[in-house]
Amino acid sequence: MMAGTGTVEPFASNWAYLKVELNWLERLLMVSAARQRKETRDVNRVARSAVDRATSHWWQGLIALEGTIASDSPAMDGQARPPESKDSYRERLEARIQATARSGEVLALPLLRDRLQLSAFEKSVVLMALAIEVNQRYSRLFGVLQGDERAGVPTVGLLLRLLCRNDREWQLARASLQRDGTLRRYGIIQLVHRPDQPMLADGVVLAEPWTDFLLAIAPQPSHLESLVTGSGWVTLERWDIGDRPQAWEDLLLPPRLKDQLRHVRDRYQWIPAIADAPGPSLPPKLGTRAFWVGATGTGKVAAARAIAADLAEPLWGADLSRLDGAAIARLLTQVMAEGPPLLMLKAAHRLVGRHAQIPPETFWQFWQVRSRCHGITLLCAPSVQSLPLQLRQAVDQVLTFPLPSASDRRQLWQQFLANLPLEKNFDWERLVRQKHLSGGDIEAIARATKIWSKAHPNQAITAEQILLLGRR
């Protein structure tokens, strides 16, 4: 409020607003750093060994030390944050934001908050990720609080520790940073994963397009809308979610192919132990990169889901046939930053070779990163010839998924058409003779047949009718 008038003073510009928010953040970090230094001094005064220091959050509750002790919940007890008066800082800040909106001035971060209905925690995450783009002082403060002055970017653990007051807030905040949370779904932040480390150790980085918008001299609502709805930012899809985990016995694949698929699973499980074993030093290669060949519907996704179920890891994927070159490049950047353990990319011929939509150096950088990442990268294409020889020689495994055999086709037809009103003496052989159909094709035709049956409840279904539906 303006002194002595009782009126609320709007912000003069987006930058003036950001300076106020960053001043609040700096106070928060400085108070937290001072409190952390005091706790470290107290612990060092009493601790006799490294074990004592590692267990200090437990024994501080039994030994009286000067000052305030730390909470042993996942979240801090909130005392690291500056105290607020009854007429709180947040209330006064919000009043100025509303006054600025009435004056016609656009403030980027509040506009983003309102457009995507961000929580207070999510808004603060964006602010903290933005701070290191404004001044390196914030990077140093984050490093001090994380015990590594070279860290540079805030981690998930630090954000939760600074911004959450109790266990409930901690749980909700952590959930909001999952891949399907708003900030990651819209590509606003990326988590930089550290191999063999929990999510709490992941660094939080603001994506460049959003940084440019938030720091704009005169941010425009149309710019925000283009980022939200028209930027083409791509997020990976979760492909292992279903009614139940994919079981190996349900895969209608040749036995030898199943054995090769299980080897992919075993390689993921055991290669870290082999890499750490004593012996000649080899370049780090924790990643398994495979090329899966086969027509649509031959069971590639189902096989990947079976591997995901055995490993208890999510399967993330994207269909590159739906993306242009710029979107593919952004997707690869996201993958390199986040390091999903199980990744499947369909239409992989759009990555490299004659049909590539991105520069070769972009792909090969991605390829090397995935080689060093402990994970499985599955590139899928309809034929071996669709990918260049150089790439085929660079993968760890090439597997071909054939069209189903006659016995498999019979099993698929009978499985998908179960409980439908088929005519007496139904001609299964006529369906089985359709050698060109994949399992996915058969499932799609069966789905169309079920719809037709609902629309014609009093008619028995013939093989001829089913094949007619398949030609539509």
Q: Are 369 and 286 in contact (CB under 8 A)?
A: no
**Would 339 be classed as within a structural domain?**
yes
Q: Give the percent of the chain with pLDDT over 90.
A: 33
Across 312-318, average pLDDT: 90
pTM: 0.54
Structural domain that includes position 68? 14-230
- Same-domain check for residues 210 and 272: no
Same domain, yes or no: 300 and 422: no
Q: Which one of 175, 202, 230 terminates a domain? A: 230
Domain stop point among 230, 260, 276: 230
Strand order of the β-sheet with 288-293 is: 237-238, 315-319, 342-346, 376-381, 288-293, 397-400
Q: Is the pLDDT of residue 5 over 90?
A: no
Q: Are residues 78 and 183 in the same domain?
A: yes
- Is residue 353 within 8 Å of residue 391, measured between CB atoms? yes
Each residue's pLDDT tens digit, 327-365:
888 889 888 888 889 999 999 999 988 888 999 899 999
- Tens-place pLDDT, residues 275-310: 555 555 444 567 899 999 998 888 899 999 999 999
Band of the pLDDT at 317, cuts 50, 70, 90? very high
Chain Cα centroid distance, residue 374? 16
Residues 133, 139, 142: CA angle, nearest 5 degrees: 130
Residue 4 lies in a domain: no
1 pLDDT higher than 60 = no
Q: Model confidence over 395-441: pLDDT tens digits? A: 888 999 998 888 888 988 988 888 889 988 898 998 889 888 888 88
Q: What is the pLDDT of residue 252?
A: 83
Q: What's the total number of domains in the chain?
A: 3
Q: Which residue has the higher pLDDT, 116 or 334?
A: 116
Check whether residue 367 and residue 453 sit in a common domain. no
Does residue 3 sit within a domain?
no
Nearest to 198 by CA among 157, 161, 139: 157
Report residue 77's pLDDT band, with 50, 70 and 90 as the boundaries: very low
More confident position, 65 or 243 = 243
Contact 344, 317 (CB under 8 A): yes
Q: pLDDT by residue (tens digit) across 196-235?
A: 678 898 889 988 889 999 999 999 998 888 888 754 445 6
Q: Are residues 41 and 163 in the same domain?
A: yes
Q: For position 81, what pLDDT does the model report?
A: 47
CATH at residue 414: 1.10.8.60
Banded model confidence at residue 63, pLDDT cuts 50, 70, 90: very low
Mean pLDDT of the chain: 82
- 316 by Cβ neighbours in 10 Å (0-12 / 13-18 / 19+) ranks as buried
Do 226 and 267 have their domain in common?
no
pLDDT band at residue 49 under the 50/70/90 scheme? low
| Residue 136 pLDDT | 87
Residues in Cβ contact with 327 at an 8 Å cutoff, skipping those fewer than 6 apart: 232, 233, 234
Query: 175 and 151 in one domain?
Result: yes
Q: Say if 9 falls within a structural domain.
A: no
CATH code (residue 302): 3.40.50.300
Q: pLDDT (tens digit, 9 = 90+) per residue, 125-182? A: 999 999 999 998 898 899 888 887 666 789 999 999 999 989 999 999 999 998 778 8
For residues 69 and 42, give the distance between their C-alpha atoms in angstroms, rounded to a whole number: 10
Distance separating alpha carbons of residues 202 and 208, to the nearest angstrom: 18
State whether 89 and 137 are in the same domain. yes
Q: What's the pLDDT at 276? A: 54
Helix (H, G, I), strand (E, B) or coil at 133: helix
Domain check: are 206 and 241 in the same one? Answer: no
Does residue 266 form part of some domain? yes
In a domain, residue 5? The reply is no
Among the residues of 84-181, which ranges form H helices? Answer: 89-103, 108-116, 120-134, 136-145, 156-163, 167-176
Q: Is residue 336 part of a domain?
A: yes
386: pLDDT strictly greater than 90: no
Domain boundary among 197, 230, 263: 230
149 & 251 share domain: no
Q: Quick one: 69 and 37 in the same domain?
A: yes
Looking at the fold, whether 199 and 76 belong to one and the same domain comes out as yes
Residue 178 lies in a domain: yes
Q: Rounded to an integer, what distance in angstroms lies between the CA atom of residue 96 and that of residue 232? A: 34
